[in-house]
Amino acid sequence: MQTKKNFGNAVAIVLIGIIFNFYNCEDEKKRESFPLILAVANSQSPVSDLPRPLDGTAILQLGGETSFLTDQQSCVSAFEGVSVGMLDADNMPLLNIFNINLDQEIRSVGSTGGPQLVIDVPGGTYGAGSNHVPGNCVAAVKEVSQTVFDIQVLNCPITRLAAQDSIPDTIVSFRMRCRR
């Protein structure tokens, strides 16, 4: 039964990617398709792979909720790194990878040293780890070129970065494709 559910979820994710790419051919249509895609995409099972997002966007699965981030804010090698958020007043959730070299193969992102994963949400800020202890997550670079940097992280445990934040530990998966 679990295999059928996982297969069904994988098919749903692939269909979401196809719908996402089809409807987002024009800039004006980007926001029109998000509610439909988000309704179909909500899944809490472990992710095995995410569809390729459009250049300058990201697919973010935080806990049981899927967000399509369409506002690329940076895509440079250095501390500034890569950032993609929402096209709304607070830009949240905001997915960041700081201290990154876009020309090197990256095998992990974490909360300390090397590329640093930071996810801003309305209740606080997440980083890789659990129980308020920093950690690292496996990362896979899907594509590196003169114009694109595509990275994926799957099923990564994340925890709050500040003790005063009231956000619960959860799991994140994302695929970010930034335009250089």
Of residues 77 and 37, more confidence is placed in: 77
Residues pairing with 97 in the sheet: 82, 117
What is the rounded CA–CA span in Å between residue 133 and residue 27? 40
pLDDT in tens, 69-120: 999 999 999 888 999 999 887 779 999 999 999 988 888 999 777 899 999 9
pTM for the model: 0.73
Crossing angle of the two packed helices 30-41 and 2-23, in degrees rounded to 10: 180
